[in-house]
Amino acid sequence: MTTLTLRNKRIALLCSISFLNLAISALAGEMKDVDATSTKQNKIEIKDFAFNPQIITVKSGEKITWINRDEEPHTIVSVEKQFKKSSALDTDQEFTITVGPPGTYTYYCSVHPKMTGSIVVEK
């Protein structure tokens, strides 16, 4: 009888360990998902006299960062003044905004007005 009880205890212990491993794996997966969402980066690269991507879709309240990869200075200016304009960005300088209410925000470079882009803001 003692052997059976000891065997049952071992089985229960192994089941508990397996359950804990599954639970830890599930929690780690959830934590990765949370981290990926919270660190989502909306980047727009300025290169070869173009905004890339030219159109970006984000949620209201998210941040967007432009980074200048050209050797020439560039600016980011909202056509309808939906966000504050940037100063001239030299190579590798960044400019970040937090978007407001839903809508389409069009912008351009005041130094090179043919450079344009759009931000589509959703709820």
Domain boundaries along the sequence of the chain: 1-39, 43-122
Q: Where are the alpha helices (DSSP H) in 39-75?
A: none
With a cut of 70, say whether residue 33 has pLDDT above it: no
Q: Distance (Å, rounded) from C-alpha 53 to C-alpha 107?
A: 13
Longest dimension (CA), the chain: 88
In eight-state DSSP terms, residue 50 is: S
Of 27 and 7, the one with more pLDDT: 7
Query: What is the pLDDT, as a whole number, of residue 41?
Result: 80
Angle ∠(71,77,82) on CA atoms, nearest 5: 150
Q: What is the pLDDT of residues 42-92, one digit of tens each?
A: 999 999 999 999 999 999 999 999 999 999 999 999 999 999 999 999 999
Alpha helices in 39-99 (DSSP H): none
pTM, two decimal places: 0.68
Return the CATH number of 43-122, one of 2.40.50.200, 3.40.50.300, 2.60.40.420, 3.90.180.10: 2.60.40.420
Question: For residues 84, 88, 91 and 93, what is the CA-based torsion angle, rounded to 10 degrees?
Answer: -30
- Classify each residue of 30-54 as buried b or exposed e, where b means 16 or more C-beta atoms within 10 Å of its C-beta: eeeeeeeeeeeebebebeeebbeee
